[in-house]
Chain A
Amino acid sequence: MKWEEIRRRYPDQWLLVEAIKAHSDAGKRIVEQLSVVSEFPDSIAALKDYAQLHREAPKRELYVLHTSREGLDIAERTWLGIRSAG
Chain B
Amino acid sequence: MKVRLEDGLPYVTVVLSYRGQQVSLEKVLLDTGSAGTIFSTDRVLTVGLTMTPQDTIRRVRGVGGTEFVFTKRVDRLALDDFGLDNFEIEVGAMQYGVELDGILGVDFLTRVGAVIDLAQMKVYSTPQKDRNNADNRQ
Binding site for B on A (CB under 8 A): 29, 42-44, 46-47, 50-51, 54-55, 58-59, 61-66, 68-69, 73-82, 84-86
Contact = CB atoms under 8 A, between A and B. Distances in A.
A21 to B, nearest CB: 15
Most buried by B among A43, A50, A54, A81: A81
B interface, size bucket: 35 or more
Contacts, number: 98
Interface string B93-131: 101111010000000000000000000000000000000
B57 A50 contact: no
A82 B29 contact: yes
Contacts of A61: 59, 66
A81 B64 contact: yes
Nearest to B40: A51
Nearest to B33: A80
